[in-house]
A and B are shown apart, each in its own frame.
Chain A
Amino acid sequence: MKLLKDSLLSIVAATCLCIPCAPSLYTQDLENAQLLNPSPDSWPLYHGDYSGRRHIHLTQITPQNVGNLTLAWAFQTNQNAQIKSSPLLVDGILYFTVPENIWAVDARSGHMIWHYNRPSKGEHIGHRGVAMYKGWLFFTTPDAHLISLDAKDGRVRWDKIIADASRGYWSTMAPLVVKNHVIAGVGGDLDNLPGYLRAFDPDSGATQWQWDVTPPAGTPNTATGGMTWMTGTYDPELSLLYWGTGNPTPVLNGTVRPGDNAHTCSIVALNPDDGKLAWSFSVSPHDTHDWDAVETPVLVDGEFHGQQHKMLMQTSRNGYFFVLDRTNGKSLLTVPYGPVNWALGIDPQGRPIPNPAKEPAPDGRLVAPDEGGLTNYRAPSFDPNAGLFIVDAHPSYSIYFAKPADGAYGWAGADYGLWGKGVIEAIDYQTGKVRWSHEVGAGGSGAGVMTTDSGLTITGDAYGNLLALATNDGKTLWHVGTGSPMQSSPISYELDGRQYIITSSGGVLFAWALPEGMVAAKRLATERR
C-alpha cells in the first residue's frame, strides 16, 4: 500500500513540477487582460488597444535615429488585392488579411506559417483585419459571414452568418472582442437595408445581442442604412462600447426620409453586454452625401479648457472634427478641419446644420468635401504628449445630382468628384486649429497615421512614399519609396528587444527596424549604465 501511495504521490509531484517548465504548454492565447493592457510585444486588436489612439509608447526609434531605419523583411502575398488591414501581432505571429484571405506570418523570419482562403460572392472592396481571442481568430467575409479559425493553423471552427448577402449586405471590418463578446457589423449602400451591430459568443458563435441602427425597411418616412462599417472602441471603466454608423439610405435622396434620420451618421455608445443604447450623437443629421461617421472614435482622457474630461474625438467624413464627452455624448467642440460648404452652421447641440441648398439636385450642386470625404477608413492618431489629433485629410470638391427620376432606392442619384489632394493635418484638439500640415499629393493619400512617444508620426503619401515625420512640426525625417501608396494604417511593436514598424504597400507587408548592430549597441550601452 505504501509503495502504491508513494508511486502515486511521485507521479503527481513529478507532473506538478513538470508543468511550469514544459515548453509543450506554450500557447498562442489572447486573454482579456492582454486586450485591456497590451504588452509592448503585441498588437492584439485592430487599433492596437481599445482607445483607438494608435499611439505607441515605444521609444527605440526616435527622430534622431529614424534616418537609419532599414528593411528587416518583406512579405509578398503574390496576389493583386491591396492590403488595407492592420495586422495583429500576438506571440510573435502576425495575422493580416485582404478580402477572403488570412495570412499568418512569423514576425521574426517574415515567412508564412499558414494561409486561409475562402472564395466568396459579395463586394470585395477591402478588409480591415481579424480579431483574436484566446487561441481563436475571428474573420468577416464579403458575403457577411463571421468565421472563427484556430490561430495555430487556420482551421475553421465555426462559420456564422452576420447578414443575408443576397439582400446586398457585406462585411469588411475587423471585429472587436470585448469581454466574452465578439462584435461585428455590416456594410452595403446599394440597397435600402437596415444597419446593425451584432455580438457573437466566442466559443459557439451564437448571437448574444443585436443593436439595430434604423427601423425596419419600409417603415414610412424613416431611413434605412446606418451601416456599421468599421471597428469601434471601448472604455472598460465606463463599460461602454463606442461605434460609428454609416449614412442613411436611399443615399442621395433625402426627401423620402425627412428629419434627422436618427442614429445614422452617428457616434453611439452601447452597453457591450446587451447592446442597449446609452447615448447617440448625430454627426450628420439628415445626411445626403454618403458621409459615414464610421471613422475611429478615439478615446482620450485629458484636459479640455482647464477641466478634466473623458473625451471621444472623431475626424469625420463630412469634414468636421468632433470632441464629445464620452460619458454622456455631449458636444465639447465641433469645427471643420478642411473645406466644407454644405452646412449653415452648428446647432446648440454641436451638430452641423445641413444646408438644403446643398442637397443633391437635378442640375447639380458643388459640394465640399467629395463623396469619399475629408477623411475615410484610414486611421488617425492622437498624441497625448503634443495634444495633437493627426489625420490624413482630403480637401476636395464634387458635384452631386439627384432628381425624382432617380427614384428612392440605393444610391438614388449620382455624384462626381472633381478635384482633391492629400494633406496630413495635426489638429490641436482643444481648439480645432491645424498646428501644422504636410502635403501628401494630388488626388489624396490613403495612408493611416500612427504616432510614437519618441515624437514620430508614421504615414504615407499618394506616390508610394512611406514617411516618418516629426510630430512637433510635420517635417519629413525619413522616407522610402515602397512602390504603391499605403492603403492601410501602420502598427508597431517590440519583439526580441527590437522595435518594428509594419506598413503595407500594394500586396506586400514591410517590416522596418533599426539595424541589428545599432539595436545591440543601444542595449549594451543601457546595460552598462
Chain B
Amino acid sequence: MKRLKGLRVVSISAAVALSLLAAAYVQEPIRAARQDDAASHADGSSAKDSGAASYAAHCAICHGDQREGILPAFPPLIGINHRMTDDKIADLIHVGKGRMPGFPNLQDGELAALLHFITSAEPESLAAGSGAKSKETSGLAETGDTLFQQNCAFCHGRDAMGGETGPDLTQSKLVTEDRTGEKITQVIREGRPDNKMPGFNLSNHEINGIIAFIRAREAAATAHPGGRRGVAVADLQTGNVQAGKQYFDGAGGCVKCHSPSGDLAGVATRFEGLQLEERMLYPRNAKSTVTVKLASGETISGILAYRDEFTIALRDSNGIYRSWPISRVRFTVNSPVDAHVLLFNKYTDEDIHNLMAYLQTLR
C-alpha cells in the first residue's frame, strides 16, 4: 500500500504540472509594425527601376500609381517638366507645400532616379480617364484633353468647368471672346500671378490642343446645360447702378474709405464677375496695421503679420519681422477691413446686386 501511496503522490504532482502547462498561455511574439501587403504601391514596377520604386514608396499614395493624381485634392504629375525645372521639382520634394510633406532625405542617386521617373514619358492611358467625354473631341482636342488633365484639371476641373480654385473656363469672358486663341495662349504661357495661376512652358501645338479641348467643352456645355455649375459674369447683372451709387455714398458707408476715382478707379477692369463681388463683400488680402508699445515706452508700428491670443507680430517700415509676447506689451490694431464684416448683417441682397452694378461701371 505504501508503494501505491507514493505512486499517487507522483501522479498527482504530474497531473498538477500538466495542468499548469496546459493552462500556460504561449505569448505570441509582439509583431513589429505590420504593413499589409496591399499597401505596397509598386503596382508591378520592377524593383530594379529605383525611380519607380522611390515614387511608389513616397509619392504614389497621393499622386496616384500612374502619376495621374487624385483630383481634386492631389495634382497629377504627368507633364510636370512643362511647368517646372528639375531643380524646382527637387526643391518642392525636399520642402513640401501645403498638404504635401517635405522629404529632405531624398538625395543623390535616389533623388536623380525619382526625378527621372517623374519627368519621364506619359503613360498612354491618361486621356482615357476622361471617359465618355473623349468621344466628343477631335484628334487635336484629344491631345489637348490629355494635356488639360495633366496640367489644368486640378484647378479648372476635369471638364474645364471650374475646380477647386480655378474658374469655369467655359463661361470665362476671355475664353469665349478670344476667337484667334492669342489671349488664351498668353494666359497659359504667363499664368496669372495675382490669382496663383502658374505659367506653362508648352509648345504652340500643345496649346492649340488645349484650346481645342476647351472649345469642345464649351460646345458640350451649351448642348447639355445640366452640367454647368459656375457663376457667369452675366449672372451678376441684376442690380441697379443708381441705387448702387446711392448705397455706396450713403447707407453702405463705402465712401468713408473708398473713392470711385481713387482706389476704386478701374476696379471693374481689374476684376469681373464673382471675383469682383467676393472682393467687394470681403477683400481677403486687405492688410491691418498695428502699433505696439513696449514697457520702455518705445512704440513701433507696422503691418500686422501675426496675431493669436499669446503673440503679436508686425513687419516694420524696413520690412523687418518683429514679434512680442502679448503679456509684455500694449498694442492697438487698425483693421479697416472690419467695416466689411460689420455690413454683413445689414445688406439686403438687393443692396449687394445694386452695389455690383455700380462697381461694374468703374472701368
Interface residues of A (CB under 8 A from B): 3, 6-8, 10-11, 14-15, 18-19, 22-25, 79-80, 112-119, 124, 152-154, 339, 341, 357, 361-366, 368, 397, 399, 401, 403-409, 411-414, 416, 418-419, 439, 441, 461-463, 465, 476, 479, 481
> Residue A15 contacts which of B22, B34, B310, B341 (CB distance < 8 angstroms)?
B22
Q: Is B128 an interface residue (CB 8 A)?
A: no
| Nearest neighbor of B18 in chain A, beta-carbon distance | A11
Contacts of B349 in A (CB 8 A): 357, 361, 363-366
Contacts of B82 in A (CB 8 A): none
Contacts of B100 in A (CB 8 A): 80
Contacts of B104 in A (CB 8 A): none
Contacts of B18 in A (CB 8 A): 11
Query: Contacts A6-B11, A409-B226, A414-B231: A363 and B33 contacting too (C-beta < 8 A)?
Result: no
A339-B19 in contact (CB<8A): no
Q: Which 7 A-B pairs have the closest CB atoms?
A: A24-B25, A407-B226, A14-B19, A463-B308, A10-B15, A14-B16, A11-B15
A3-B4 in contact (CB<8A): yes
Q: Is B235 an interface residue (CB 8 A)?
A: yes
| Nearest neighbor of A442 in chain B, beta-carbon distance | B307
B11-A3 in contact (CB<8A): yes
Tell me the bound Cα distance from A439 to B278 in angstroms.
Answer: 25
The smallest beta-carbon distance between B61 and chain A, in angstroms, is 7
Can you list 11 A-B contacts with CB-CB less than 8 angstroms, sorted by A residue number?
Answer: A7-B8, A8-B15, A114-B34, A115-B35, A116-B34, A118-B36, A339-B345, A363-B353, A407-B228, A418-B278, A479-B309
The smallest beta-carbon distance between B291 and chain A, in angstroms, is 20
A407-B227 in contact (CB<8A): yes
The smallest beta-carbon distance between B246 and chain A, in angstroms, is 19
Contacts of A361 in B (CB 8 A): 349
Contacts of B8 in A (CB 8 A): 3, 6-7
B344-A24 in contact (CB<8A): no
Q: Is B57 an interface residue (CB 8 A)?
A: no
The smallest beta-carbon distance between B157 and chain A, in angstroms, is 12
Tell me the bound Cα distance from A418 to B344 in angstroms.
Answer: 10
Tell me the bound Cα distance from A118 to B62 in angstroms.
Answer: 14
A25-B25 in contact (CB<8A): yes
The smallest beta-carbon distance between B16 and chain A, in angstroms, is 4
Tell me the bound Cα distance from A86 to B343 in angstroms.
Answer: 38
Tell me the bound Cα distance from A418 to B30 in angstroms.
Answer: 52
Query: Contacts A6-B12, A14-B19: A461 and B30 contacting too (C-beta < 8 A)?
Result: no
B34-A22 in contact (CB<8A): no
Contacts of A341 in B (CB 8 A): 345
The smallest beta-carbon distance between B83 and chain A, in angstroms, is 22
A115-B229 in contact (CB<8A): no
| Nearest neighbor of B62 in chain A, beta-carbon distance | A80
Question: 11 additional contacts, CB 8 Å, given A11-B19, A15-B23, A116-B34?
Answer: A10-B15, A19-B23, A24-B26, A115-B35, A153-B28, A368-B344, A399-B281, A401-B231, A406-B226, A418-B344, A465-B310
| Nearest neighbor of A421 in chain B, beta-carbon distance | B341
Tell me the bound Cα distance from A403 to B228 in angstroms.
Answer: 9
Contacts of B274 in A (CB 8 A): 416
A112-B33 in contact (CB<8A): yes
Residues 28-69 of chain B: 1 if any A CB is under 8 Å from the residue's CB, otherwise 0?
A: 101101111011010000000000000000000110000000
Contacts of A152 in B (CB 8 A): 28
Query: Contacts A401-B231, A406-B229, A414-B230: A465 and B7 contacting too (C-beta < 8 A)?
Result: no
Residues 1-21 of chain B: 1 if any A CB is under 8 Å from the residue's CB, otherwise 0?
A: 000100110011011101110
The smallest beta-carbon distance between A75 and chain B, in angstroms, is 12
Tell me the bound Cα distance from A365 to B39 in angstroms.
Answer: 46
Contacts of A463 in B (CB 8 A): 308
Q: Is B95 an interface residue (CB 8 A)?
A: no
Tell me the bound Cα distance from A441 to B277 in angstroms.
Answer: 25
B309-A461 in contact (CB<8A): yes
| Nearest neighbor of B17 in chain A, beta-carbon distance | A14
Q: Is B89 an interface residue (CB 8 A)?
A: no
Query: Contacts A113-B30, A419-B344: A124 and B73 contacting too (C-beta < 8 A)?
Result: yes
A114-B31 in contact (CB<8A): yes
> Residue A419 contacts which of B34, B235, B341, B353 (CB distance < 8 angstroms)?
B341
Tell me the bound Cα distance from A461 to B162 in angstroms.
Answer: 32
A418-B281 in contact (CB<8A): yes
| Nearest neighbor of A409 in chain B, beta-carbon distance | B226
A479-B310 in contact (CB<8A): yes
| Nearest neighbor of B222 in chain A, beta-carbon distance | A405
The smallest beta-carbon distance between B13 and chain A, in angstroms, is 8
The A-contacting residues of B in range 270-325, CB under 8 angstroms, are 274, 277-278, 281-282, 308-310
The smallest beta-carbon distance between B270 and chain A, in angstroms, is 19
Contacts of A7 in B (CB 8 A): 8, 11-12, 14-15
Tell me the bound Cα distance from A22 to B27 in angstroms.
Answer: 12
Contacts of B99 in A (CB 8 A): 80
Contacts of A414 in B (CB 8 A): 162, 229-231
Query: Contacts A154-B34, A364-B349, A366-B352: A407 and B310 contacting too (C-beta < 8 A)?
Result: no
Residues 332-363 of chain B: 1 if any A CB is under 8 Å from the residue's CB, otherwise 0?
A: 00000000110011010100110000000000
B11-A405 in contact (CB<8A): no
Contacts of A476 in B (CB 8 A): 309
The smallest beta-carbon distance between A195 and chain B, in angstroms, is 22
A397-B34 in contact (CB<8A): no
Q: Is B109 an interface residue (CB 8 A)?
A: no
Q: Is B24 an interface residue (CB 8 A)?
A: yes
A411-B229 in contact (CB<8A): yes
The smallest beta-carbon distance between B326 and chain A, in angstroms, is 11
Q: Is B106 an interface residue (CB 8 A)?
A: no
B278-A416 in contact (CB<8A): yes
Tell me the bound Cα distance from A466 to B291 in angstroms.
Answer: 27
Tell me the bound Cα distance from A405 to B231 in angstroms.
Answer: 11
Tell me the bound Cα distance from A120 to B36 in angstroms.
Answer: 13
The A-contacting residues of B in range 78-99, CB under 8 angstroms, are 99
Contacts of A6 in B (CB 8 A): 8, 11-12
Q: Is B193 an interface residue (CB 8 A)?
A: no
The smallest beta-carbon distance between A464 and chain B, in angstroms, is 9
Contacts of B22 in A (CB 8 A): 15
| Nearest neighbor of B39 in chain A, beta-carbon distance | A117
Contacts of A412 in B (CB 8 A): 229
Tell me the bound Cα distance from A172 to B22 in angstroms.
Answer: 44
Query: Contacts A22-B23, A366-B352, A411-B229: A153 and B34 contacting too (C-beta < 8 A)?
Result: yes
- Chain B CB within 10 A, most for which of A399, A405, A407, A413: A405
The smallest beta-carbon distance between A284 and chain B, in angstroms, is 20
Query: Contacts A124-B73, A366-B349, A479-B310: A418 and B235 contacting too (C-beta < 8 A)?
Result: no
> Residue A22 contacts which of B24, B28, B341 (CB distance < 8 angstroms)?
B24
Tell me the bound Cα distance from A368 to B34 in angstroms.
Answer: 47
